[in-house]
């Protein structure tokens, strides 16, 4: 494994079609797959629905993690990036309109809320291949 710098890790994350948000729900880890946008400063923006467990965390600006990867089991290559930071709801009407236009959810349900995950810690690794045992 080769550690990635912040810029390269965020570039890979921006190209990924979806990732996983990791947060605490009822004192246990919870993971939800979502699509995202990566802002110029590295912050992650996602959309969610009323009643989503993550939305409660965001209102309290709790720390969450966001992970995306692209791994090839046949060649044992790929990459994985994790962004860790506080989640918070986006309330500015202009930003909400921009995000709602730019970020189309994959699920067919109303996703009226937007959450920003601050990129306080960005870690990434590239897998450069290994012995497949053949």
Distances (CA, A) of 66 to 24, 45, 69: 13, 10, 11
pLDDT at 58 over 80: no
Q: Measuring CA to CA, which residue among 80, 83, 92, 93 is closest to residue 36? A: 83
Question: Which contiguous run of DSSP H or E holds residue 33?
Answer: strand 28-34
Per-domain residue ranges of the chain: 2-128
Average pLDDT value for residue range 4-8: 97
Dump pLDDT digits (tens) for 7-56: 999 999 999 999 999 998 888 899 999 999 999 999 999 998 887 888 77
d(CA 120, CA 131): 35
- The pTM is what? 0.88
Give bridge partners of residue 79 from the DSSP assignment.
70, 126
- What local confidence, expressed as pLDDT, does residue 105 receive? 79
Checking DSSP bridges between strand 77-89 and strand 113-117, what pairing results, if any?
Answer: antiparallel
Q: Measuring CA to CA, which residue among 19, 13, 127 is closest to residue 73? A: 127
Other beta carbons within 10 angstroms of residue 63's beta carbon come to 15
Per-chain mean pLDDT for the chain: 90
CATH class of this structure's domain 2-128: mainly beta
């Amino acid at each position: 494994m080769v550690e990635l710098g912040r810029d390269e890790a965020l570039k890979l994350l921006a190209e990924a079609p979806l990732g996983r948000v990791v947060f605490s729900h009822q004192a246990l880890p919870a993971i939800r797959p979502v699509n995202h946008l990566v802002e110029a400063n590295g912050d992650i923006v996602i959309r969610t629905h009323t009643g989503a467990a993550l939305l409660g965390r965001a209102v309290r600006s709790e720390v969450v993690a966001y992970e995306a990867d692209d791994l090839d089991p046949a060649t044992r290559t790929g990459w994985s990036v994790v962004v860790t930071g506080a989640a918070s709801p986006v309330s500015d009407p202009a930003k909400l309109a921009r995000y709602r236009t730019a970020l189309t959810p994959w699920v067919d349900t109303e996703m009226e809320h937007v959450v920003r995950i601050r990129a306080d810690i960005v870690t990434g690794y590239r897998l450069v291949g290994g012995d497949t045992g053949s």
